[in-house]
Chain A
Amino acid sequence: DTEVTQTPKHLVMGMTNKKSLKCEQHMGHRAMYWYKQKAKKPPELMFVYSYEKLSINESVPSRFSPECPNSSLLNLHLHALQPEDSALYLCASSHSNQPQHFGDGTRLSIL
């Protein structure tokens, strides 16, 4: 069982759709992260929120829009995605200077 919960587990969407990925943690962690992972590759950092403020954006295209409504929730809004955006999207959270805890991810397929 993971302490970082991601929904949905699987998502199939067309290139014109708008959808959102959700991540939740109740460990009181101050930082939350979005990663993208392609098959047989390590995760790539997309965004970091620290104390509910966006602190790192790794030059991610604007069709990905993160949101942190509160300290326990992290969303990733998706719009007009491309087929190459198909991947496993991982959420993680951490205390300051502590290891990141990962969720099981959302498997995203773009048609």
Chain B
Amino acid sequence: AQSVTQPDIHITVSEGASLELRCNYSYGATPYLFWYVQSPGQGLQLLLKYFSGDTLVQGIKGFEAEFKRSQSSFNLRKPSVHWSDAAEYFCAVVRSYNTDKLIFGTGTRLQVFP
């Protein structure tokens, strides 16, 4: 069965520091991969997606993610974090032939200190 693991439940960084959020997936073939962000009291906003092609994907708000097939990973990165990036981050995966069933990781809560 498909699954997504986000090993870090909670991460704290200083404003201006770099950030990497980890995501590992379990799936036999290449899935479609996503990162979503959720601010308190709001819905989920898509940061970026990977379907195929270039394994380094650029997203909104200065985020990027790299798909590494050999490690079954899709880690999210940002070179310099802003206080407004504090939120919950979800990695998600779907099968390429059935994109309706989005499987979420458990989420990583990002806290940013000034």
- A: which residues have CB within 8 A of B? 2, 4, 6, 31, 33, 40-43, 45, 48, 50, 55-56, 90, 92, 94, 96-105, 107
Which residues of B lie under 8 Å from residue A100 when comparing CB positions?
46, 102
B43 in complex: contacting residue of A2, A56, A99, CB < 8 Å: A2
Given contacts A99-B34, A99-B49, contact A45 B43 (CB under 8 A): no
**Could you name 8 residue pairs across A and B whose Cβ atoms are closer than 8 Å?**
A33-B100, A42-B105, A43-B104, A45-B101, A45-B102, A48-B100, A99-B46, A100-B46
Which residues of B lie under 8 Å from residue A99 when comparing CB positions?
34, 46, 49
- B: which residues have CB within 8 A of A? 32, 34, 36, 41-46, 49, 51, 90, 96, 99-102, 104-107, 109
Complex contact A102–B44 (CB within 8 A)? yes
Which residues of A lie under 8 Å from residue B105 when comparing CB positions?
42
